[in-house]
A = this chain, B = another copy of it.
Amino acid sequence: MRIAVLGGDGFVGWPTTLHLSNLGHDVAVVDNLSRRWIDAELGVQSLTPMDSIQERLRTWKEVSGRTLAFEHMDVACEYERLKAWLCDWRPEAVVHLAEQRAAPYSMKSDRHKTYTVSNNVNATHNLLNALVASGTDAHVVHIGTMGVYGYSTVGASIPEGYLNVEIALDDGGKVAREILHPTDAGSIYHMTKCLDQLLFAFYAKNDGLRITDLHQGIVWGTHTTQTRRHEQLVNRFDYDGDYGTVLNRFLIQAALDHPLTVHGTGGQMRAFIHIQDSVRCTEIALANAPATGERTKIFNQVTEVHRVRDLAALVSRLTGVEVAFLPNPRKEAPENELSVRRDQFVGLGLEPTTLKDGLLTELVDVARKFVHRVDRTRIPSRSAWTREIAPSLVTNVEHDGPLRRRNGSAS
């Protein structure tokens, strides 16, 4: 199959690209390299040493014998080029990851909010619009987020995209309807993924586009089978306050023998999936496209759920490092319940890597191995969700003071 991976240079996009190429698909990476520009803006870098995309492609060719196409293009800003490229390259499927994907980055300032909304909405809409205009009948697989549902479950497991409800009729009766699950975005980033859903619903209905939306949990892990094949194929590992997930920051803090910092009570329950399972899910989704005229197919791409404080406890048990509690920069409930339906991927053969089994490998192979590259000042999150919350972050114990003391060295 001819597959375009939009955002194929990113954290999920890169291992997805290699996974699909290894399966024998013809894969093109389309990327504006924005994730590298954002590294430059923030003054951060991947913990793992990352080569240029061109060098990565050369390495992959050497290791696998397979060629990857690369198109340096901004799909949010270059609509006409995108349309022409689709006419030329004729993909049969498009994996869409061309969106700014960090909630804290999206809340950093008004400029970052504007960028995230404009980039993400225009990227998604340009893709759908260009597919119709160019007459490209490609299956779109979009990587969305569990965050579209919000985290306020009511005693009902979160279904896969659609919710059965009963509505009262004017005549006193009731009618059952299946609706797109109501959204409750926790950040500007998450909101853009809620907007995406409505774009998908429209284009599936009006133009018969075939679309799958994967509501993914927090992705953890660095290596996949394919990225392990050469050290220059290594995936990125972000640990900074904007792009680093809660788990990555715990691992780095543990490697530094710094307390594991939990925001709020740590009662927030979140959904997780390993990067190897993430790329496998995309493979499964590609093999199970909806029919033309069918509504958007939605999967919950999640393998387990945990409370943040339980994750901290797990890492603490593995490493002996203690846990510290800090103010929460996010506007959210301190505690929530989360139960997620995930029957579809399980039914289609997904066999998950669990945190219990994979976390030690991640600690040894990544966090401890590259700990000398850590910039300690970049670990804390400095994005406050509102003006009222901002002052509480100034005295954040994660600031480099305690780090220096614990490690006995000036950074």
A residues engaging B (CB < 8 A)?
79, 83, 109-110, 113-114, 117-118, 121-122, 125-126, 129-130, 132-133, 135, 154-157, 163-171, 173-175, 177, 179-180, 182-185, 188, 191, 194-195, 198-199, 201-202, 205-207, 331, 339, 385-387
A136 to B309, CA, bound (A): 38
If A157-B170, A170-B156 touch, whether A199 touches B191 (CB-CB below 8 Å) is yes
A215 to B191, CA, bound (A): 21
CB distance from A345 to the nearest CB of B (A): 20
Please list 5 pairs of residues, one from A and one from B, whose beta carbons are closer than 8 Å in the complex, sorted by A's number.
Answer: A135-B387, A154-B175, A156-B170, A183-B198, A206-B386
Closest B residue to A110 by beta carbon equals B133
Residues of B within 8 A of A163 (CB): 167
Closest B residue to A185 by beta carbon equals B202
Most buried by B among A110, A183, A207: A110
Q: Are B110 and A130 in contact (CB under 8 A)?
A: yes
Residues of B within 8 A of A122 (CB): 114, 117-118
Q: Are B114 and A331 in contact (CB under 8 A)?
A: no
Closest 8 CB pairs of A and B: A165-B165, A110-B133, A166-B166, A155-B169, A179-B182, A117-B125, A191-B202, A195-B195
Closest B residue to A188 by beta carbon equals B202
A207 to B156, CA, bound (A): 28
Residues of B within 8 A of A387 (CB): 132, 135, 207
Contact of A182 among B117, B157, B174, B180 (CB under 8 A): B180
A117 to B167, CA, bound (A): 31
Residues of B within 8 A of A198 (CB): 183, 185, 191, 194-195, 198
A133 to B129, CA, bound (A): 32
Q: Are A117 and B110 in contact (CB under 8 A)?
A: no
If A198-B195, A331-B206, A339-B170 touch, whether A155 touches B175 (CB-CB below 8 Å) is yes
Q: Are A129 and B113 in contact (CB under 8 A)?
A: yes
A177 to B121, CA, bound (A): 29
A167 to B155, CA, bound (A): 10
Closest B residue to A157 by beta carbon equals B170
CB distance from A397 to the nearest CB of B (A): 25
Residues of B within 8 A of A167 (CB): 154, 156, 163-165
Q: Are B154 and A129 in contact (CB under 8 A)?
A: no
A121 to B121, CA, bound (A): 8
Residues of B within 8 A of A109 (CB): 133
A385 to B182, CA, bound (A): 27
Q: List 7 additional A-B contacts (Cβ < 8 Å) besides A121-B195, A165-B166.
A: A110-B129, A118-B121, A155-B171, A156-B167, A156-B168, A156-B169, A185-B202
Closest B residue to A134 by beta carbon equals B110
Closest B residue to A199 by beta carbon equals B191
Residues of B within 8 A of A173 (CB): 155
CB distance from A16 to the nearest CB of B (A): 27
Closest B residue to A175 by beta carbon equals B154
Residues of B within 8 A of A130 (CB): 110
Residues of B within 8 A of A135 (CB): 387
CB distance from A19 to the nearest CB of B (A): 32
Residues of B within 8 A of A157 (CB): 170
CB distance from A338 to the nearest CB of B (A): 12
Residues of B within 8 A of A165 (CB): 165-167
A83 to B179, CA, bound (A): 37
Residues of B within 8 A of A129 (CB): 110, 113-114, 117
Residues of B within 8 A of A154 (CB): 167, 169, 175, 177
Q: Are B175 and A168 in contact (CB under 8 A)?
A: no
A199 to B104, CA, bound (A): 18
CB distance from A76 to the nearest CB of B (A): 9
A157 to B172, CA, bound (A): 12
